[in-house]
Structure 1
Amino acid sequence: MSSVSSLSLLLLLSITTSLLVISHAKDSFTAELIHRDSPKSPFYNPNLTLSERFEAAVNRSLIRSCSFGRQERLTSMSADLTSNGWGEYMMKIGIGTPPVDVLGFADTGSSLIWTQCEPCTKCIRQPNPLFNPKVSATYRLLKCSWTQCSDLSPITSCGEGGACVYKEAFVDGSYTQGNIATESIKIGTSKILSVIFGCGYQNSLHASGSAGVIGLDLGEGSLVSHLGPAISGVFSYCLSPIFSNRRSSISFGVVSGPGPYGVTTPLSKKPGSDRYQLTLEAVSVDGTRLEFPGSAYGGANEGNMNIDSGTTLTFLPMDFYNQVVAEVDKVMNAEKVDMGKKGLSLCYRAAGNDVILPEIRMHFKGGDLRLKIQRDTVCFSFIGSPADSAIFGNMGQSDFAVEYDRNAGTVSFAPRECN
């Protein structure tokens, strides 16, 4: 097994199946990913402190984790949180002919591509004009009798005049509903024809700014599924640390490979799920190996941990998380910092050269990821999950080239300074 290093700690207080045609096709194409707390983001609030942004990210992560956990625990857990929306990284695409810019959340946990559309009976505020299908030369409604509509079940149904309509609800109470149609999508200079997407006429999100979602999971409606053979089933992203000024990006068709110091681990495909799932075998703290007992969905078997771009923190079932906390406490001689969040116990004031910082490794099937610690007041990217879910969040993935090869059924991690 090989080891790689990554930033997985957050500095808190330092300043420090439709017809697919691609025109102008290349072997790959790349788009910028904009974190919601970036000055480039419509969500950016310069008045928030770093600690306040972190607290908001924790809340979004907790709400997001509900969709991966046990249903009976979700209602009470969500009720205790104040939602400021969901989604972490946005990308810009052009929809229609002529193309209209849409800034949507790039989400490995969603299947559908959707955006707000005119005429909108209920919409949220967004920086760009809404997409108007009436002025696009390539907009085509989908019929509910077509297989492309049933492929998106259970969120689709038959509407007026036999149109394929959809409604998708999210765990924080947000929702979108409208028509399913096909349309041209432009990413950079690459144009994808006849992409199935949701044209939302009633939309409710708990934060204004985003125009929709760009689904990237294994489902039939995701952007990656539409691109299919044109990108050889491969996409990758490189996420800079969430409060840094460095650029993040997503690439389609780039086959970078894990490299000499990288790690490749197999994907596990479970019936009824379109999510990307990995197999976590253990976590070690300074050489003490803690065998992972499994999660609420997946047990100790293969596919016991989701990898997700839309969750900031890495979630571990609470009992196992407490074991990790106990091992870290044995070797950390730094003062603990109370963040006021249940399950977030791994925060320390760690400035100074006399502080002992442990080596933490996540042992995935096929390879280990060594989590590199920075000095200052820090929080490990782990958090205990009240829903007993297991999610590998985007903080732990920062400064990696993370490559999904759907044909090979693998995810690879190669160390990079994303920029």
Structure 2
Amino acid sequence: MGGVAQGLSIKMFTILSPNSSIFPQNLTLSEKHQKLTEISKARALDLIMTTNSSETLVPNAISSPVKHAYSDFYYTEMYIGTPPQKANLALDTGSTLTWVQCEGCKSCFELSMPNFNIRRSTTSRPMPDDHPLCVPPNLGPGTKGQNCVYGLFYYDRSSTYGPFGFDTFTFLSVQGQLAIPNVAFGWGLFNKVNFNDYFHGHDNPIGGILGLGRGHPTGILQQLNQITLQRFSYCLPPQFEAQSLLHFGEDAQIGGPSVGSTLILGGPDDYYFTKLDAISLNGQRLQIDPSLFMAGGKGMAVDSGSPYSHIVAEAFKVLKQAVVDYFP
């Protein structure tokens, strides 16, 4: 990818957008917050199970720990293949693996647009099982050998499984279209997923996941390292606005006198963890044991799929009482 600019900015949509076909538009504000709370609770529970579980469920050579439930709180539009086929992928900072539901799937979820058709793309090719990227925990040789397969099994019993291969990804950058060849991703042929589980919408436009997690070489950040420089940023728009931007590489720089920063804690997980020292209300630091924010020694997870923050029950009790006392 010589000569490619070290930066990329693409549109990022939220399910709460007035133009979104995922989130029901006839809900009251209270009902919307209730739906978002349900998502956040599920993600928090699944994160706990993910980081504390060594269970492996994927067949053959793939040894995949149980991961979090799906959430399409943020998603982006892009094109895959030659000629390009449109795909909306949910952004997931808790997963490195990117996948999309494909035409010919044996087990499929409902989708309002056509599935990605591998056979119609002249640039698609499977990944051989001896490729250096075809390694556990989520990748390995198929039952018949020769080609690589992927498998992801989730705490809520959702799953996706299929061949792992390459194709051209075309990003709709604000600078113009950027086509990148030979991006590795999963060809979802066996999918037990319901992206509308919390919304009950009739038209689901989300066809897969764009994995923004850290660490694994199959991650988009790692594969497109010359462009992403393994860094990204996005601003959180007011919940009911239409869109924001997801920045990669040089475009990801955020500056100004009001900008703060904190360290991302290391670790083997796909997730991004950071350290929370304390919570204050009205300038008063609450009496909460800081060790409660380091459950399992990992810290607080930054999760693009969780609309609201969650803390452990002991800390929440102190915070809740402080809020009650502040608003008698």
Contact 1:87–1:311, Cα closer than 8 Å, also in 2? no
Q: What SS is found at the alignment partner of 1:149?
A: coil
- Give the Å deviation of 1:30: 1.7
Contact 2:8–2:228, Cα closer than 8 Å, also in 1? no
Give the TM-score of the pair, scaled to structure 2: 0.83
Deviates more, 1:107-116 or 1:206-215: 206-215
Check 1:70–1:104 CA distance in 2 against 1; reply closer, same or farther (3 A cut).
closer
Deviates more, 1:28-37 or 1:57-66: 28-37
Deviations 1:295-328 (A, max 9, x none): 46444xxx41111111111111110111111122
Deviating above 6 A after TM superposition, structure 1's stretches of 4 or more consecutive aligned residues are 71-74
Match of 2:141 among 143, 155, 158: 158
1:294 maps to a residue whose letter is L
Contact 1:179–1:200, Cα closer than 8 Å, also in 2? yes
- Give the Å deviation of 1:217: 0.8
Check 1:246–1:131 CA distance in 2 against 1; reply closer, same or farther (3 A cut).
closer
Contact 1:42–1:127, Cα closer than 8 Å, also in 2? no
Root mean square deviation, CA, Å: 2.3
Deviations 1:209-251 (A, max 9, x none): 31000000113222112221323222111121222x3532211
Q: Which residue of 1 aligns with 2:292?
A: 294
Q: Which residue of 2 aligns with 1:136?
A: 121
Give unpaired runs (5+ residues) of structure 1. 1-20, 75-83, 334-419
Give unpaired runs (5+ residues) of structure 2. 54-68, 197-203
2:228 maps to a residue whose letter is I
Q: Which residue of 2 aligns with 1:184?
A: 168
Match of 1:329 among 315, 324, 327: 324
Distance 1:296 1:145 in 2: 39
- Give the Å deviation of 1:148: 0.5
2:153 maps to a residue whose letter is A
Give the TM-score of the pair, scaled to structure 1: 0.66
1:20-419 superposed matches below 5 A: 21=1, 25-70=4-49, 86-150=71-135, 153-159=136-142, 160-188=144-172, 189-206=177-194, 207=196, 208-218=204-214, 219-243=216-240, 245-253=241-249, 254-270=251-267, 272-290=268-286, 291=288, 292-295=290-293, 297-299=295-297, 303-333=298-328
Deviations 1:320-353 (A, max 9, x none): 11111112222113xxxxxxxxxxxxxxxxxxxx
Identity of aligned residues (%): 28
Contact 1:103–1:210, Cα closer than 8 Å, also in 2? yes
Distance 1:298 1:308 in 2: 17
- Give the Å deviation of 1:114: 0.4
Distance 1:135 1:85 in 2: 28
